[in-house]
Structure formats: structure tokens, C-alpha cells
């Protein structure tokens, strides 16, 4: 294995440091990433597009800058030479923005990269492709009937989670160290949990969504996946900051960047940390609860707390998602329903029939729920909860059992994430390894949750769990592709 190939299995910070010191070139790193994608993606199925020519040109330009007069400013780039990929609802110049669909294949190619793609490349990263997802982000399994399911790199017969399944799987497979996804009801945290990687869902409105295909604009968030908390912090800091220009995301708060990378070594000392009980304990299997308990023990968190109105909040999120998502696709539902995935189509059609009074009430409930949770954060800085009710289920499984209840997998893999994103709280999903009895070890994520705009706290606590050895993100052992 070449030095670049070995380095590709480490984190993004280590890669950027190696390029900065001249130990490896950006071109060699990108070539290693493209080679690993070629060798493994026939089994994982994370990528829908590869931007190899663009990536190699970008890497060569970085190497030329390092060799020339621009070396000093180039070396300061925090993600220098790091390969990354994005969920295929992010605009990539020259490619149609698919959003996991068949219908959007006919759309004209994007004229420019999405805002967050531009910001990562400005920080020195190199885009190598686009990643699979549930159609129009409506799902938690990424069993996409148009392109086939994304397979969990740690067990290829199991789901990767969704809707950002390709984003979680690509990091777990060692194809790239950093990806971007979206999270409306759990679509970053669910794949992070099932694939055993770190995922950050920032506060609603923290990062601009310009140049991305929407699902539910009043709930959509964007954020990174990585194999270390340090990488999440580097990517998050690179993407922060207010937008300028005419085509701004109207849902993005125009906040000055608040760097978190310098705070990562502060640990969790002095923070008031609680463990969510009630709803969050009764809807998880023992392995998921054990993961939370391990994290709580490492942090010295012994107090259990319940969120008020949590079931009502989740119900409100369901109605808002269904109605707003359906409105976006109404014309295609009328004229070409056969081109949707059947399950997505049926849910969107149901959303078109919801009474407006129900949605207005759901928004009122959402506000009251947010106010109640804000009062909880007067007593606590951080809350812990499982990210998924269980580990990854087999591909094709329609039902699972949670504490004696038989539930459909597709909507309920996000049962523990949806109440958190409904009110826009920042969350870091950290991977804790356990597994079913008699099965190979599989990860289950823990949600580290804070009050709005406190990404610094969730990343500090995630870093403390990583340093304690409770959370980790090993590259999947995919073996010989032959």
C-alpha cells in the first residue's frame, strides 16, 4: 500500500498536515481516493457521480501553488489536499443535481457549486464526487430503487441509514475522510449511527443551504460527516459565516463565524450533562441504551431528564414534513407519478391532502415544544440520547421490534432524531460500538445535544468521548475487492 493510500485511512487533519509538510502531494491523495472508490464502490454503492478529472486538476493546482510563490498562504489552508464528497442534492458545477431521483436526471447541469462546496474547496479540500441518498431525502435507509441500496461497509448485507446513506458509507469505507449531507429529521445522525462515523447537525440556520435541493425548507439542515471530531470541527469552521450576494439562503442566520477548533481540547469538565429518559429510553433496544450509558458514565452524567411535549413535537414534524415536502413536488405528482419511487410517491400524495389547519396547528405545537425544551437547557448544557433505536438492520427488512412493538423500519429508524431536529438544536452523533448477541460488532450512535448556537459544546463533549475511547470510527475492513 502506498503512503497516500495509508494516509487516506486516517483523518482529514492528518492528511492536510502531511501535504503541508511535503510528505505527500495533494495529487497523490486524490489519486488514492479515486482508486479506493474504484476498488470498493462496486460493493458499497455510495457514489452516483465521480468528478475525477476536476479533482485531479484541482489537486495539481494546489501542488503547483505549494511549489511556487503562493506556498505560504496555501500551506495555511486547514483542509489542504483533503478529498471529500457530497450528497447528490448539493449542486456540483456541470452536473444535474439529482436529489436521489429519476426525475431530476433531466434537469440542466448546475451552473455553480453549492455554497458549502465552495467554502470547503476554499479551505483546500478537493471534491471527488456525489453520493447516493433516499429519493428527495424522504427516508432513513437509502434503499434507493433507482440506483440500488447503499450498503453498510461494516456489514454489506445491512443498510447504511438515510437519507444521507452515501455520505455515511463513503467515510466508513475509507473512500474519503469527509463528506457533506443534509438532515431534516435525522438524515445525518442516522447514517452516522449505523455506519459508525461522526456526524454534526448544526443549529437550524447556522450553515447556508444555497445551491442545494430542498426537502422541507423550514426543517432542512446541512452538515459534515467525518472519522474524527477534529475533522468535524475543521470542516464546520471552514463552512461558517454569513452569506453575501444576491442568491442567499433566506433561512440562514447571518451570524459571524464562531470558530470551534481551538476549543476542542477543553474537555467536558464543568458542563451540566443530563441523560434523556422517557420517550428516548422506551424506543431503543438494550444495545442502544448501553451505548448512551457508556457515554454518560465516561462524562460523569448521572441525572435523567425528560423533554416536555416530545411526542407532540415529533407528530408536528411529521405533518410539516409531509405537507411541505409534498407541495414542492405537486406538479410532478400530477404529471409523472410513475417516475417517483413508490413509497416516496405515496407519502407525498398523502401530504397533498393534509388540511391547512393541521399544519398551522403543527407549527404552533413546534413553537410550544421549543419553548419547553429551552427551559430544560436552563438546567443542563448537554443532553445525551441514542441516535437510532438499534444497529443497522438487514437490507430489505420492512419491520423491526422495539420493546415489544412491531414498527416499520423506514419511518422509525429516525424516531429518536426527529424530535431534536424539529426544533433545530445542534447535535453531534458519536459512534459507540456494541452489537447484537452472536453477531459481528456494529455501531450505534449517541446524540450529544445542546441549546441553539452551542456547537462548541457538542463538539467539546464529542471530543472528550473520543479521547476517552468511548467513541471511535474505524475504517471498515472491506478486504480484497476481487
Catalytic option among 187, 323, 344, 473: 187
pLDDT given at position 354: 96
Cβ pair 170, 194 in contact under 8 A: no
Which stretches of the chain drop beneath a pLDDT of 50?
A: 436-438, 480-482
Q: What are phi and psi of 220, to 5 degrees?
A: -70, 135
Are 23 and 49 a contacting pair, CB within 8 Å?
no
Q: Given 25, 27, 87, 421, which residue is catalytic? A: 87
Cα–Cα distance, 5 to 179 (Å, whole number): 18
Residue 371, pLDDT score: 98
The per-residue pLDDT for range 114-125, each reduced to its tens digit, is 999 999 999 999
Complete DSSP assignment for 121-146? HHTT-EEEEEE--SGGG--SS-EETT
To which H or E segment does residue 475 belong?
A: none
CATH topology of domain 132-467: Amidase signature (AS) enzymes (3.90.1300)
The answer to whether residue 167 is catalytic is no
> Has 201 been annotated as catalytic?
no
pLDDT score of 482: 39
| Whether the predicted model's global pTM rises above the 0.95 cut | yes
Does residue 102 carry a catalytic annotation? no
| Residues 150 and 142: beta-carbon distance below 8 Å | yes
pLDDT of residue 481: 45
Residues near 451 by beta carbon (within 8 Å), at least 6 away in sequence = 374, 377, 381, 425
Domain boundaries, the chain: 132-467
Q: Which triple of cell numbers denotes residue 222?
A: 446541512
**pLDDT value of position 251:** 86
- Which residue among 25, 101, 163, 344 is the active-site one? 163
* Cα-based torsion angle of the residue sequence 443, 461, 189, 328 in order, rounded to the nearest 10 degrees: 180
DSSP string, 373-415: HHHHTTT-SEEEEESSSSSPPBTT--EEEETTEEEEHHHHTTT
Q: Where are the beta strands (DSSP E) in 278-391?
A: 303-305, 382-386
213-242: pLDDT as tens digits: 999 999 999 999 999 999 999 999 999 998
Phi, psi angles (nearest 5°) of residue 114: -60, 155
pLDDT in the model for residue 73: 84
Going by the DSSP 8-state scheme, the letter that residue 159 receives in this structure is E
**What confidence score (pLDDT) does residue 121 get?**
98
pLDDT for residue 390: 96
How many Å apart are CA 160 and CA 218, to the nearest integer?
26
184 close to 216: Cβ distance less than 8 angstroms:
yes
Amino acid at each position: 500500500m502506498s503512503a497516500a493510500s495509508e494516509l487516506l485511512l486516517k483523518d482529514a487533519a492528518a492528511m492536510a498536515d502531511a501535504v503541508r509538510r511535503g510528505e505527500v502531494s495533494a495529487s497523490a491523495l486524490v489519486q488514492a481516493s479515486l482508486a479506493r472508490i474504484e476498488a470498493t464502490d462496486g460493493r458499497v454503492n455510495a457514489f452516483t457521480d465521480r468528478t475525477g478529472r476536476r479533482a485531479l486538476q484541482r489537486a495539481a493546482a494546489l501542488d503547483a501553488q505549494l511549489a511556487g510563490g503562493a506556498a505560504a498562504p496555501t500551506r495555511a489552508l486547514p483542509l489542504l489536499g483533503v478529498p471529500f464528497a457530497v450528497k447528490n442534492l448539493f449542486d456540483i458545477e456541470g452536473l444535474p443535481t439529482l436529489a436521489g431521483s429519476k426525475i431530476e436526471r433531466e434537469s440542466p447541469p448546475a451552473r455553480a457549486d453549492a455554497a458549502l462546496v465552495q467554502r470547503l474547496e476554499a479551505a483546500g479540500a478537493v471534491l471527488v464526487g456525489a453520493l447516493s441518498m433516499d429519493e428527495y431525502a424522504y427516508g432513513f435507509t437509502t434503499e434507493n430503487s433507482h440506483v440500488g441500496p447503499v450498503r453498510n461497509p461494516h456489514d454489506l448485507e445491512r443498510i447504511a441509514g438515510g437519507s444521507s446513506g452515501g455520505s455515511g458509507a463513503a467515510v466508513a469505507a475509507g473512500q474519503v475522510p469527509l463528506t457533506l449531507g443534509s438532515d431534516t429529521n435525522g438524515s445525518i445522525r442516522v447514517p452516522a449511527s449505523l455506519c459508525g462515523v461522526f456526524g454534526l447537525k448544526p443549529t437550524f440556520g447556522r450553515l447556508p443551504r444555497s445551491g442545494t435541493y430542498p426537502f422541507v425548507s423550514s426543517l432542512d439542515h446541512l452538515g459534515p460527516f467525518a472519522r474524527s471530531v477534529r475533522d468535524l470541527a475543521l470542516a464546520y469552521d471552514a463552512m461558517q459565516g454569513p452569506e453575501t450576494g444576491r442568491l442567499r439562503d433566506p433561512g440562514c442566520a447571518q451570524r459571524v463565524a464562531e470558530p470551534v477548533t481551538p476549543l476542542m481540547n477543553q474537555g467536558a469538565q464543568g458542563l451540566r450533562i443530563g441523560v434523556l429518559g422517557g420517550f428516548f429510553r422506551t424506543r431503543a433496544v438494550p444495545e442502544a441504551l448501553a451505548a448512551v450509558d457508556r457515554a454518560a458514565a465516561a462524562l460523569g452524567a448521572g441525572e435523567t431528564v425528560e423533554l416536555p411535549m416530545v411526542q407532540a413535537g415529533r407528530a408536528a414534524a411529521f405533518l410539516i414534513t409531509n405537507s411541505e415536502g409534498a407541495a414542492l413536488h405537486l406538479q410532478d405528482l400530477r404529471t409523472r407519478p410513475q417516475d417517483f419511487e413508490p413509497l416516496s410517491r405515496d407519502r407525498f400524495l398523502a401530504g397533498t391532502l393534509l388540511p391547512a389547519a393541521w399544519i398551522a396547528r403543527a407549527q404552533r405545537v413546534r413553537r410550544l415544544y421549543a419553548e419547553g425544551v429551552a427551559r430544560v437547557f436552563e438546567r443542563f448544557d448537554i443532553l445525551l440520547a441514542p441516535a437510532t433505536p438499534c444497529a443497522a438492520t438487514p437490507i430489505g427488512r420492512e419491520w423491526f421490534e422495539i420493546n415489544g412493538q412491531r414498527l416499520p423500519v423506514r419511518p422509525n429508524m429516525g424516531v429518536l432524531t426527529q424530535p431534536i431536529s424539529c426544533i433545530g438544536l445542534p447535535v453531534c452523533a458519536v459512534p459507540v460500538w456494541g452489537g447484537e448477541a452472536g453477531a459481528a460488532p456494529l455501531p450505534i450512535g449517541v446524540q450529544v445535544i445542546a441549546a441553539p448556537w452551542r456547537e462548541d459544546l457538542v463538539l467539546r463533549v464529542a471530543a472528550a468521548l473520543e479521547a476517552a475511547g468511548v467513541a471511535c470510527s474505524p475504517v471498515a475492513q472491506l478486504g480484497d475487492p476481487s
